A and B are shown apart, each in its own frame.
Chain A
């Protein structure tokens, strides 16, 4: 949310952080995860997997907020995200 002036009593917003893990051997290159990632974390790679599809790769790992949307939209069970919050700790506050 944007304010013209930051309220003095505004609590710090904690952003969750996630790490995307891709299982490229399961991927069929449909591109759902790339198109529907709300933070634009993924991109299509130039490499081929064993079946000849282009799996995605993590382009901007820092942007992932662990929303799990890539995980649930993937028809191939080839991508998931794990929570990084414990590791990053205070750094995640924005």
Chain B
């Protein structure tokens, strides 16, 4: 080791990380770190001005993402990441807003906010990390827990059918809907980059291994075995109806980009209907 006295460039993501907070709190084998790396890689790839970017997150394991990224970020109360992001976007329409949160935060506690933000088509990118339970609070049942899987609150197995998040987001009016797993990192990075460039409510769901809480209760082994399960069972089906894109851990995990369409955003409608602005006024405002 003594011979190596050269200057190393450092990790390429250190530019976007709050390095003083690393190592992060996520467990060994948790996929959130990988997904976070994908988000950072997408930001780096697009070369976005970091002063024109903000990340908002809710509570939960994934909610910690906002604390580790070196851009303006806010860690909101449980489920309220989207209302905060909505306010941020309406006050500063020139910045890009990323909402990163878990399945429980976005769809259970903040479910109402998500469906209305998608309906209004507020220009933001929602990254939903789906680890199939509430990881941070101790592994309770979440709206994503598959039927029959054990959690702390359902020790005999969950008797409820889970949500299909992509179908829900698409039905509510999201303009871009995709699902990937923590193993499809390059595709995920491209997908996030695509979503960030798109105008409107974009939604990406990412399946993530949770070895120390969900995996342990369901005898799924360590994180590598969960990644192997994703590798063996995931099937890429782009452009299919999200209704048919289900997550079956014993059968087929359908991933891919399901929806990519155009719709006027809330700000467009607000400017034309409430402010009586024409598209030319918009051009003048941008020029100023």
Q: Which of B22, B24, B27, B185 contacts A73 (CB 8 A)?
A: B185
CA distance A32 to B13 in the complex (A): 18
Q: Does B41 contact A (CB under 8 A)?
A: yes
Chain B residue numbers with a CB within 8 Å of A21 are 8
SS class, residues of chain A in contact with chain B: loop
CA distance A51 to B9 in the complex (A): 24
A26-B22, A30-B223, A32-B227 known; A74-B28 Cβ under 8 A: no
Chain A residue numbers with a CB within 8 Å of B23 are 25-26, 28, 51, 76
Q: Are B185 and A30 closer than 8 Å at their CB atoms?
A: no
Instruction: Kindly state the interface size class of chain B when it binds its partner.
Output: 20 to 34
Chain B residue numbers with a CB within 8 Å of A74 are 33-34, 37
Q: Which of B14, B33, B189 contacts A75 (CB 8 A)?
A: B33
Chain A residue numbers with a CB within 8 Å of B36 are 75
CA distance A74 to B26 in the complex (A): 12
Chain B residue numbers with a CB within 8 Å of A82 are 8-9
Chain B residue numbers with a CB within 8 Å of A32 are 29, 34, 223-224, 227
Q: Does B253 contact A (CB under 8 A)?
A: no
Chain B residue numbers with a CB within 8 Å of A28 are 23, 27-29
Chain B residue numbers with a CB within 8 Å of A25 are 23
Per-residue 0/1 for A27-39: is the Cβ within 8 Å of any B Cβ (1 yes, 0 no)?
A: 0111110011000
A residues 7-42 with Cβ under 8 Å of B?
21, 23, 25-26, 28-32, 35-36
CA distance A72 to B22 in the complex (A): 16
Q: Are B24 and A76 closer than 8 Å at their CB atoms?
A: yes
Q: Give 18 A-B contacts (CB < 8 Å), ordered by A residue.
A: A26-B23, A28-B28, A28-B29, A29-B28, A30-B28, A31-B29, A32-B34, A53-B28, A72-B34, A72-B37, A72-B38, A72-B185, A74-B37, A75-B30, A75-B37, A77-B22, A77-B37, A80-B12
| A interface with B by C-beta (< 8 Å) | 21, 23, 25-26, 28-32, 35-36, 51, 53, 71-78, 80, 82
